[in-house]
Amino acid sequence: MSNNLSESILQKRIKRFKSIKRGYYSLIAIISLYILSLIAPLWVNDKPLMIRYANNQYDSGEKFEDINNNGTWDLEEPFDDKVKYFFPAIWDLLDFIPGISYPIYESKYFNQITNQFEVDFRILDKTCENNNNGNFVIMPLYPYHPHEDLKDELDEVYEDLNNNGEYNIGEPFTDQNNDGVWTQNNPPTKPDGFGGRHLLGTDNTGRDVFARVVDGFKVSITFAVICTFLSYSIGIIIGGTLGYFGSKVDLFGVRIMEIFSALPFLFIVMILSGFMQPNLFILAAILVFLSGWIGISYYIRGEFYREKAKDYVSAAVSMGASNKRVMFKHILPNALTPIITYAPFAIIGYIGTLNMLDLLGYGLQPPAASWGEILKQALENLDNWHMLIFPIIAMTITLFMITFIGEAIREAFDPKVYSRLR
């Protein structure tokens, strides 16, 4: 009994949460998947983890034997071809940091003849492998980027014997999908499964569906977490102020909340999308400003009204504690239980809102990866089942896990069962 009493209420709640396995394991799974999605440029990317390359050309700074003593390198003079190392995927991972610019890898430096300015790393990988000259490319586990247009990349390579610009019977080709016939890419393409080129197929613009589902998970969770954090921060301040001071402050504040509650959120977003393309952060700010903080404010307001009438608040006031200290040091910790249990369900709501806006075309704009954007494409291509099924599966599993977390938190924070005296 004494050991039970020595445990704090928070310790009891954490212990109880861990005992609810479906919620505890769901939390571990969500955190693990989110971390994997954040570092996705290291394993889902068209840019290599590392390149070791010597370009067989004389570059400034390399040592050469000046045979004719003219002070410059000439074609017939031998030189020390210095090996250079490049880390494109690392730069791609850090690209979101302000002030960090992603280096452009020119195709001409890697002796790649192409119409594109930037080198095609997958072709470079095959070239280095075939030449066996010491150069090598380490590609990520899944070598496709969520924003990469693969319309032309998927075409099987053929030798145009009659120079007519198209494949004809009798011309040799590289059979990339091993079906025995020459195939021209016509996205969307069906899933290739494990061991194939595209695990979940491609969408109607040739982008890899698996890469976009992974990136869509990161986008959805990040958006929901940002919205929840902002909503809670604003809602706690406004709701706590109204509930603590009451009187005219509360009367005025509630009227303002009622006005914001009446605003047609979707209609306003439709108007704003007409003259701007909101990114993730702008869309989150709009959602929170228009409606996100209102529900939390009502919750906190009610809890502050209930808590401020208790004896411990009167004791703190009589001892000379400031309003700020009473509100955030004494009342707030005791008023958080309802909104903590509500947080996972708020995250579910924000994920659903983002995907709904993307589905309607008023959310994040391409090439931004989003489950809603993939579903929008699927509705326009109903015969391509993979574009509909896989984002729905990913969304369903994610929402189920967050629901399990929310149920476990609600049960663990139940004051009727897990009090200090139990």
Say if residue 211's pLDDT is above 50.
Answer: yes
| Higher-scoring residue by pLDDT: 398, 309 | 398
Topology of domain 2-39+210-412, per CATH? MetI-like fold (1.10.3720)
Say if residue 169's pLDDT is above 60.
Answer: yes
Q: State how far the Cα of 183 lies from the Cα of 195, in Å rounded to an integer.
A: 18
Residue 396 — very low, low, confident or very high, per pLDDT cuts 50/70/90?
A: very high
Q: State how far the Cα of 285 lies from the Cα of 290, in Å rounded to an integer.
A: 9
| Higher-scoring residue by pLDDT: 222, 115 | 222
Q: Return the minimum-mean-pLDDT range out of 56-70, 139-153, 186-200, 308-322.
A: 56-70
| Longest alpha-carbon distance in the chain | 97
Mean pLDDT of 61-86: 71
pLDDT, residue 215, reads 92
Are the CB atoms for 20 and 403 separated by under 8 Å? no
Residue 222 — very low, low, confident or very high, per pLDDT cuts 50/70/90?
A: very high
Residue 26 — very low, low, confident or very high, per pLDDT cuts 50/70/90?
A: very high
Mean per-residue pLDDT over the chain, rounded: 82
Mean pLDDT of 35-60: 86
- C-beta contacts of 34-40 below 8 A and 24+ residues apart: 34/217, 34/218, 34/221, 36/214, 37/214, 37/215, 37/217, 37/218, 37/221, 38/218, 39/93, 40/211, 40/214, 40/215, 40/218
Residue 399 — very low, low, confident or very high, per pLDDT cuts 50/70/90?
A: very high
Residue 58 — very low, low, confident or very high, per pLDDT cuts 50/70/90?
A: low
Mean pLDDT of 274-299: 85
The whole model's pTM is what? 0.81
Residue 117 — very low, low, confident or very high, per pLDDT cuts 50/70/90?
A: confident
Residue 94 — very low, low, confident or very high, per pLDDT cuts 50/70/90?
A: confident
| Higher-scoring residue by pLDDT: 24, 170 | 24
Residue 207's nearest CA partner among 393, 386, 50, 389 is 386
Those residues whose C-beta lies under 8 Å from the C-beta of residue 140, and which sit 6 or more positions away, are: 41, 42, 43, 44, 45, 47, 48, 49, 89
Say if residue 154's pLDDT is above 50.
Answer: no
Q: Which stretch, 24-33, 334-343, 370-379, has highest mean pLDDT?
A: 24-33
